[in-house]
Chains A and B, each alone.
Chain A
Amino acid sequence: DADVTQTPRNRITKTGKRIMLECSQTKGHDRMYWYRQDPGLGLRLIYYSFDVKDINKGEISDGYSVSRQAQAKFSLSLESAIPNQTALYFCATWTGDSNQPQHFGDGTRLSIL
């Protein structure tokens, strides 16, 4: 079983719809992250959470919201989806130790028509 699981893996929806992307982890890491990836732009941080009560905006948080339901679960919502939110979304976890890498889910490919 994957350590970091994202659902759904693919989603096609229409402009204006509310979308929720879910992430769950079995690694026991406190820190969780949501990134979006667009061609040529690398990974850009949307939101991050250091624990259940600590949620922070990243560089591109406009149009998104998050919920940290438990240490193991971190959900990303698009309240009213727009076409330029079409992208590949990744959830990641991290221990916070500088010599340890982040662990990524397999990604959610989201298309907004």
Chain B
Amino acid sequence: NAGVTQTPKFQVLKTGQSMTLQCAQDMNHEYMSWYRQDPGMGLRLIHYSVGAGITDQGEVPNGYNVSRSTTEDFPLRLLSAAPSQTSVYFCASRPRDRGRDEQFFGPGTRLTVL
């Protein structure tokens, strides 16, 4: 299994540009989520999904959109990038079942917005 994969690894954007961060998992996990990690702030939840077609907002959702058309994929869209969105973005997944709910993380995407 590849686990949780993310692309790209690095990205530089100009203010106002849009882009999509890709996330895929091959473990058939129902739950997927996106976090951002900033110095001194820890990891904060952006959006999450409990299954195909179902998404919801986390702690810091503004400026980001998500959709989940398949169990495997959970892309994160930045519609109009801002310097405040410079961060490291992590995608995670876990099974739905309690007792097996260990979270697995991807390697991250390092985004710089100029």
The judgment on whether A and B are partners is: no
